[in-house]
């Protein structure tokens, strides 16, 4: 297993009141959908998807919710973090008109995937969903990439009122979508999966991860798949066999927690 590379935070961007982006020098080749294990010295090591991909720089974008992410949130430019990875499988791109659906912090990893798809000359429509307007981030970044951006908020404070999955269903009904890519709350991803007939579909499943490299088995889904190395991106065919998708996950002790 790799040891963490100590990286200095080069740029710290406050995206919302509890979401931050850190950019750091890290030149390992990384694909959209892959993740890093982020070591916060003295606190914990946690998985985070890549949210910025440049040749020599990478970034993560995270919400402050518990011990590790609160400690991470307190760090700033010039502080140090440890990075292992990238790990896991990234997205596969197929077809010409792609729909990306990002909900909550799931928007973070959708952004570099859109960037990549546009570089491949794909037509991109994306749905960005949040509970309310002040929880949205990366909207200008994605608009500047020239993707068609559709926004939904649960309370209607920005874009369509309602769930991102409902807005995605309308787009699927009225457009010829060739493939769907999603990351966010599992009920949202499950709803998009069910409402998208047989359109090729890929989702990022976040499971409790300890090693990140397939040794500990903590992040198992379905019949013995390890989301750290077999995922975290799974396609429709695989998801059909993962009975826990949108239903339950395991906590740090291995106990089932219903979603
Ligand atoms: C592949 C992957 C990519 C992720 N990418 C992002 C991202 O881009 N941005 C972001 O904000 N969050 C992301 N997460 C979630 C992030 O890892 C957790 O929110 C974080 O670990 C919470 O730790 P905590 O101590 O702050 O919170 P806690 O209070 O300990 O936990 C809060 C929630 O996070 C989950 N969690 C805690 N530790 C882990 C762990 N080691 N592995 C997985 N889940 C954990 C808990 O089960 C709980 O649901 C990702 C998770 C995975 C598996």
Between the CA of 139 and the centroid of ligand 1 the distance, in Å, is: 23
Integer Cα distance of 232 and 235 in angstroms: 10
Q: What confidence tens digit (pLDDT) does each residue in 217-255 have?
A: 999 999 999 999 999 999 999 999 999 999 999 999 999
Q: Indicate whether residue 251 lines ligand 1 (CB < 6 A).
A: yes
Q: What confidence tens digit (pLDDT) does each residue in 93-139 have?
A: 999 999 999 999 999 999 999 999 999 999 999 999 999 999 999 99
- Is 2 within 8 Å of 34 (Cβ atoms)? no
Q: Indicate whether residue 105 lines ligand 1 (CB < 6 A).
A: yes
Give the start-to-end residue ranges of the domains of the chain.
5-87, 91-204, 211-259
Q: Indicate whether residue 234 lines ligand 1 (CB < 6 A).
A: no
Q: Indicate whether residue 218 lines ligand 1 (CB < 6 A).
A: no
Phi, psi at 52, each rounded to 5°: -135, 130
Residue range 5-87 in CATH 2.60.120.860: no
Between the CA of 18 and the centroid of ligand 1 the distance, in Å, is: 14
Tokens of 136: 């949205």
* Ligand 1 atom nearest residue 232's Cα: 1
CATH topology of domain 91-204: Rossmann fold (3.40.50)
Q: What is the DSSP string of 128-191?
A: EEESSGGG--SHHHHHHTT-EEEEEETTSSSSEES-HHHHHHHHHHHS---EEEEES-HHHHHH
Between the CA of 69 and the centroid of ligand 1 the distance, in Å, is: 8
Q: Indicate whether residue 19 lines ligand 1 (CB < 6 A).
A: no
Give the percent of the chain with pLDDT over 90: 97
Nearest residue by C-alpha to atom 32 in ligand 1:
66
Task: State mean pLDDT over 173-183.
Answer: 97
Nearest residue by C-alpha to atom 37 in ligand 1:
208
Q: What confidence tens digit (pLDDT) does each residue in 33-89 have?
A: 999 999 999 999 999 999 999 999 999 999 999 999 999 999 999 999 999 999 999
Q: Indicate whether residue 207 lines ligand 1 (CB < 6 A).
A: yes
Q: Indicate whether residue 104 lines ligand 1 (CB < 6 A).
A: no
- Is 82 within 8 Å of 145 (Cβ atoms)? no
Between the CA of 192 and the centroid of ligand 1 the distance, in Å, is: 22
């Amino acid at each position: 297993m790799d040891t963490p590379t100590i990286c200095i935070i080069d740029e710290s961007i406050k995206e919302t009141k509890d979401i931050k982006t850190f950019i750091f020098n890290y030149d390992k080749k990384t694909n959209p959908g892959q993740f890093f294990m982020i070591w916060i010295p003295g606190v914990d090591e946690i998985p985070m998807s890549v949210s910025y991909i440049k040749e020599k720089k990478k970034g993560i974008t995270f919400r402050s919710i518990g011990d590790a992410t609160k400690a991470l949130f307190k760090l700033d430019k010039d502080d140090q973090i440890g990075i292992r990875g990238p790990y896991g499988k990234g997205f596969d791109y197929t077809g010409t008109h792609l729909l990306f659906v990002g909900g909550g912090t799931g928007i973070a990893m959708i952004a570099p995937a859109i960037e990549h798809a546009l570089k491949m000359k794909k037509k991109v429509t994306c749905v960005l969903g949040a509970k309310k307007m002040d929880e949205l981030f990366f909207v200008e970044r994605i608009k500047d990439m020239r993707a068609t951006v559709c926004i939904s908020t649960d309370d209607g404070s920005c874009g369509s009122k309602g769930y991102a999955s409902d807005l995605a269903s309308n787009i699927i009904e009225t457009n010829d979508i060739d493939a769907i890519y999603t990351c966010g709350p599992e009920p949202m991803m499950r709803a998009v999966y069910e409402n998208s007939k047989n359109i090729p579909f890929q989702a990022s499943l976040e499971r409790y991860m300890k090693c990140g490299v397939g040794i500990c088995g903590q992040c198992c889904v379905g019949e013995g798949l390890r989301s750290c190395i077999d995922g975290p991106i799974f396609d429709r065919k695989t998801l059909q066999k993962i009975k826990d998708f949108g239903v339950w996950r395991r906590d740090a002790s291995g106990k089932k927690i219903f979603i």
